[in-house]
Amino acid sequence: MTAITIDLNGVRIADDVEPRQSLADFLRERCGLTATHLGCEHGACGACTVVVDGKATRSCLSLAVMSDGRVVLTLEGLRNDQIMDILRRQFHECHALQCGFCTPGMLIMARDILQRHQSPDANTVRHELSGQICRCTGYANIVKAVVAAGKDLAAAQAHALAGALAEAEALIQAEVQARVDDQVRAQEDAPPKPGTE
Ligand code: FES
Ligand code: FES
């Protein structure tokens, strides 16, 4: 057995694992994180995709010991993630799943795409998702959902930026006004110059 320590979904965990145990088995069997699905178990389908140190990673091809000292995120750890919230809504609205088996891997990969591409078009999404296999949907609605999520994310970011700019402008105006008020008060409080009374 080998001792490992992982930052898993924001919680530091320590465990002893068999050197040949895959990260996928460790997550599902030792940690009970069953949103990570296992399809092919040899790197072809993408159902087992998780995030390791910020990168989308096939957990069936990684060993648990390789995650020692790393930061691992599974779908369970992305409940309060802005991009994942938007993706979940668009997958629902665009009917981008049927049996749902591929969906956790699709969502993790889609989030990775939206982190690297600003509002990607359908061709980019198709290309980037080419490593994820879905047996039910025919992919059209998945691509549609990711494109729509990219647009929603860009709009949300633009809105947040506009809000931050307006806030900064209001702060600057308040600061300028405070300085003007200080100067006016200083002039009013100043003793009259000789000969001006
Ligand atoms: S289960 Fe890992 S790629 Fe298919
Ligand atoms: S929704 Fe069934 S495999 Fe994708």
Asked if residue 95 and residue 59 are part of one domain, the reply reads no
197 occurs within a structural domain: no
Exposure letters 42-74 (e unless 16+ CB within 10 A, then b):
eeebbbbbbbbeeebbbbbebbbbebeebbbbb
Asked if residue 29 and residue 100 are part of one domain, the reply reads no
Given a cut of 80, whether residue 123 has pLDDT beyond it is yes
Asked if residue 55 and residue 5 are part of one domain, the reply reads yes
pLDDT at 189: 85
Name the residue of 25, 42, 106 to mutate for ligand 1: max ligand atoms within 8 A of Cβ: 42
Asked if residue 96 and residue 39 are part of one domain, the reply reads no
Asked if residue 123 and residue 38 are part of one domain, the reply reads no
Ligand 1 lined by 163 (C-beta under 6 Å): no
Given a cut of 70, whether residue 197 has pLDDT beyond it is no
User: How far apart are the CA of 107 and the centre of ligand 2, in A?
Assistant: 12
State the total domains in the chain: 2
Q: What is the mean pLDDT of residues 63-76?
A: 97
Task: Identify the domain containing residue 90 by its residue range.
Answer: 80-189
Ligand 1 lined by 58 (C-beta under 6 Å): yes
Q: Of the residues 25, 58, 78, which one is the last residue of a structural domain?
A: 78
Confidence label for 167 from pLDDT (cuts 50, 70 and 90) = confident
Tokens of 185: 């008060």
Which residues have C-beta within 8 Å of that of residue 134, sequence separation ≥ 6? 102, 106, 142
Asked if residue 152 and residue 57 are part of one domain, the reply reads no
What's the CA gap between 165 and 181, in Å, rounded? 24
Ligand 1 lined by 39 (C-beta under 6 Å): yes
Asked if residue 46 and residue 94 are part of one domain, the reply reads no
Asked if residue 62 and residue 147 are part of one domain, the reply reads no
Name the residue of 37, 45, 134 to mutate for ligand 1: max ligand atoms within 8 A of Cβ: 45
- Mind listing the pLDDT tens digit for each residue in 171-196? 898 898 889 888 888 888 887 777 66
- Mind listing the pLDDT tens digit for each residue in 76-120? 999 999 999 999 999 999 999 999 999 999 999 999 999 999 999
Q: Of the residues 78, 100, 133, which one is the last residue of a structural domain?
A: 78
Q: Of the residues 78, 112, 129, which one is the last residue of a structural domain?
A: 78
